[in-house]
Amino acid sequence: MSLLSDLIQTYDNYFGHEPENIEKIAPVAHTYGSKKQVIDVTINQNGNFSHAELNGKNNGKTLLAVTEESASRTSSAATTPHALNDNLMFMTSHHNCDNSGINKSYQAYMSQLEKWCEAPEACKQVKAVFRYLSEHDLVDDLLDAKVFPADKGAVDLDKYMKFVVRWSVSMDDPKEIKQTWMNPEVLSSWERYYSAYHKSNSDKVLDGISGKICDVEKLHPKAINVYGNSKLISVAAKEDSTLNFKGERFSDESQIVQIGYQNSQKAHNALGWLIDTQSVAISKNALPYETSDEKPKYIVCWSPTYTEEKNDELSGLLGVHVTGSDHVDNSYDHKLRRILFGLKEDTAVKERIVLLMTDRSGDGRFSPVMYRSMYAAEFLVKIRNWYAQCIWYFYDMAAKKVCINSPTLFDIAKCAYGTERITDAGVPYLDVNDAVFKDTVNTLLSIVIDGRKVPDSLIRRLTVQASEPERFAGNEGHKWWSWQEILRTACAMIHYRNMMVDPKKGERDLSLDKENDNRSYLFGRLLAVVDKIENTALNRKASDGAKNSHRDTNAMRLWSAYVAHPFTCYANLRNCVAPYLSSLPYGSRKYYEDETQEIIEKLAGQKNLNRPLDPEYLIGFYMERETLNQYKSVNTDEKQTTED
């Protein structure tokens, strides 16, 4: 019950104290309706029709006054109306009738509305709506006002019956809010009325959260609109339901832990508010050029007790780039504190935060797949450790240069399981299965929060991706874009693993370690040398106007074979690049030969040289390549001879 307790505490602390320009938490006995086509109807306080307007979906969310039954209803429920603003099918007595000429939806709605109007908590706006619907038919007035567009001279009313009617009541006081779904008097009226009604008409049981005797909620509401009819808490009501109790542990549903109505409403409304205002959707829709119809996972981080204004951007948790060009700068710790909480220096130690991830498991259920509760200071330390250790050289678009940064969790999942596609505009991107993407981000997030090591399977997957450059060659305009990203991300994850095992060894990853005699590391360096030799020769031919000089090198073509059989494949590569090496100026040729000889000397005497390479070879390849790229060759033999 810890999660529900945190949500209830969040409701109690935040309700009425929400930051400005952020959606308010739904009160008890209310919920935010999903965005639908709406009909805004305006009447006066005497119950007379004024005007109406047909609006689209982009008119903001509608706060609906609901009952226990209507909050959990499905779209097929025809006799379970909301309290006031609801579908048009509930507002007409002359239309939407059955074979007997009766609209049961209208009867159920008016019966419920009448009880509210007769209660002492009723307000004049609600009474005006009841008076209007008792004396007029809304659909007839809408037709007379020509609100519905005619198609070939006729109006198809059936397609408008699921449109939501929102009542506005014009009062004598012009300062009073006309919109009933925004009027505090109307909202408070229903909350007080229905809470008292539910308390007097429900069973009294022991609340499993508060430990007090109170009225129980039997049909828990739907908290996340995107998940449709899926619920966090489901109770099987039918005796033949597969979810019902078969007598193995309980004989009926009343024997399970019960949750009071007020606590259930607070927990679900707080969860819906957090998901709507502060969550990040984990779905490949967040990636460039990607689309998916699958329901996303949601992750949200918040403090149940901290009530000052917070930033709703949680993207930092999924990928905060470390600032600085040639070293790790941990000053972003303060930026992270602002992004996630707005916490001050002295509040981070004592403030408790909650991290929650939800996922839809079916049509009827969604569940928390990750829940962590910890102090903010502890959380920030874990985040800082991750982004200080999982780093590599990435191109920074803002700085327009290569900097030491951290890959985002989204990027890691994309690089590990992506397949290269090309857009219509010719831009390559990595396409990844949505379910695999979400599960991988989930795994990575638990690694970050719990400080666990990266699974070997993920390291192997990234290594395989980086070891098949021909699959990610891109096109002439964007050559090797995807592969470069995969290579750098793989190196970052290998570096993080090395830092977890041996921090001193991990620190040496960020520069070329000429003392490293690891077999895979050395073979990675050799691969970089032969690739650079051929690239240098091809670039010289291109500058001389030779045709077909910008082709893939032999190292790129034989990369997979090299990783599987490095010793024998290197001999073949050496023979392939011999003509290119001989075409280079003396100074460049001698530099590459000396570099090769140094590496081969370290390999001499080692055993099993031809067994497959470990992921460590990518570090050796990358750092050797960067070192070679910094070498400036002498362009003429005459200058080199003089220096010699």
Q: How many domains does the chain have?
A: 4
Residues 61 and 157 reside in one and the same domain: yes
Structure confidence at residue 540 (pLDDT): 85
Residues 220 and 293 reside in one and the same domain: no
Structure confidence at residue 544 (pLDDT): 64
pLDDT of 593 > 80? The answer is: yes
Q: Domain range spanning residue 151?
A: 33-201
Range with lowest mean pLDDT among 111-125, 364-378, 598-612: 364-378
Q: Which residues of 587-609 are buried (b: 16+ CB within 10 A; e: fewer)?
A: bbbebbeebbeebeebbeeeeeb
Q: For residues 445 and 413, give the distance between their C-alpha atoms in angstroms, rounded to a whole number.
A: 11
CB 491 within 8 A of CB 392: yes
Half-sphere CA count of 376, side-chain side, radius 13 A: 26
Average pLDDT over residues 634-640: 42
Residue 547 CB partners (closer than 8 Å, separation 6+): none
The SS3 of residue 50 is: strand
The SS3 of residue 394 is: strand
Residues 41 and 138 reside in one and the same domain: yes
- pLDDT tens digits for 276-309? 888 888 999 888 888 888 899 998 888 888 655 4
φ, ψ of residue 224 to 5 degrees: the values are -120, 115
Residues 303 and 169 reside in one and the same domain: no
* Secondary structure element (H or E) that encloses residue 551, with its range: none
Average pLDDT over residues 421-447: 93
Q: For residues 536 and 591, give the distance between their C-alpha atoms in angstroms, rounded to a whole number.
A: 13
CB 403 within 8 A of CB 320: no
Residues 535 and 497 reside in one and the same domain: no
Q: Which residues pair with 260 in a beta bridge?
A: 216
Amino acid at 612: P
Closest by CA to 407, choosing from 416, 398, 394, is 394
Rg over alpha carbons for the chain, rounded to the nearest Å, is: 33
Structure confidence at residue 58 (pLDDT): 65
Q: Which residues pair with 167 in a beta bridge?
A: 41
Strand ranges of the sheet holding 86-87, from the earlier edge strand across to the other edge: 49-55, 38-44, 164-170, 86-87
Average pLDDT over residues 158-186: 92
Task: Compare 468 and 385 and report the one with higher pLDDT.
Answer: 468
Residues 537 and 445 reside in one and the same domain: no
Residues 546 and 398 reside in one and the same domain: no
Closest by CA to 437, choosing from 227, 276, 225, 290, is 290
Residue 579 CB partners (closer than 8 Å, separation 6+): none
Structure confidence at residue 319 (pLDDT): 41
- pLDDT tens digits for 189-244? 999 999 999 999 998 988 889 899 999 998 899 888 888 888 998 765 555 454 45
Range with lowest mean pLDDT among 92-106, 294-308, 344-358, 568-582: 344-358
φ, ψ of residue 53 to 5 degrees: the values are -145, 135
Closest by CA to 360, choosing from 438, 285, 303, is 438
Phi-psi bin for 94: left (phi > 0), alpha (psi -120 to 50), beta? Answer: alpha
Domain end residue (candidates: 503, 538, 558): 503
pLDDT of 360 > 70? The answer is: yes
Residues 140 and 226 reside in one and the same domain: no
Which tokens is 604 given?
Answer: 């001499």
pLDDT of 576 > 80? The answer is: yes
pLDDT of 310 > 70? The answer is: no
Residues 577 and 431 reside in one and the same domain: no
Q: For residues 129 and 44, give the distance between their C-alpha atoms in angstroms, rounded to a whole number.
A: 9
Closest by CA to 10, choosing from 272, 342, 249, is 272
Residues 424 and 449 reside in one and the same domain: yes
Q: What is the DSSP letter of 491?
A: H
Closest by CA to 95, choosing from 53, 137, 48, 136, is 137
* Secondary structure element (H or E) that encloses residue 366, with its range: strand 366-375
DSSP string covering 573-616: HHHHHHHHHHTS-HHHHHHHHHHHHHHHHHHTT-S-TTSPPPTH
pLDDT of 333 > 60? The answer is: no
Tell me the pLDDT band of 252, cut-offs 50, 70 and 90.
low
Task: Compare 124 and 278 and report the one with higher pLDDT.
Answer: 124
Residues 565 and 518 reside in one and the same domain: yes
DSSP string covering 284-301: GGGSTT----SPPEEEEE
Residues 49 and 184 reside in one and the same domain: yes
Percentage of the chain beyond pLDDT 70 is 86
Residue 582 CB partners (closer than 8 Å, separation 6+): 589
Q: For residues 21 and 41, give the distance between their C-alpha atoms in angstroms, rounded to a whole number.
A: 26
Closest by CA to 142, choosing from 168, 159, 160, 130, is 160
Task: Compare 43 and 55 and report the one with higher pLDDT.
Answer: 43
Domain end residue (candidates: 485, 503, 521): 503
Range with lowest mean pLDDT among 11-20, 293-302, 627-636: 627-636
Domain end residue (candidates: 278, 304, 319): 278
- pLDDT tens digits for 144-155? 999 998 887 788
| CA distances from residue 179 to 64, 142, 246, 538 in whole angstroms, order as listed | 12, 18, 48, 72
Structure confidence at residue 634 (pLDDT): 41
Task: Compare 633 and 176 and report the one with higher pLDDT.
Answer: 176
**Whole-model pTM?**
0.85
CB 532 within 8 A of CB 625: yes
φ, ψ of residue 495 to 5 degrees: the values are -60, -40
Tell me the pLDDT band of 334, cut-offs 50, 70 and 90.
very low
Q: For residues 110 and 132, give the distance between their C-alpha atoms in angstroms, rounded to a whole number.
A: 11
pLDDT of 251 > 70? The answer is: no
Tell me the pLDDT band of 142, cut-offs 50, 70 and 90.
very high
Which tokens is 72 given?
Answer: 């959990």
Average pLDDT over residues 533-547: 78
Q: For residues 480 and 553, give the distance between their C-alpha atoms in angstroms, rounded to a whole number.
A: 12
Torsion 190-196-202-204 (CA) sign? positive
Q: For residues 255 and 372, give the distance between their C-alpha atoms in angstroms, rounded to a whole number.
A: 29
Structure confidence at residue 611 (pLDDT): 96
The SS3 of residue 194 is: helix
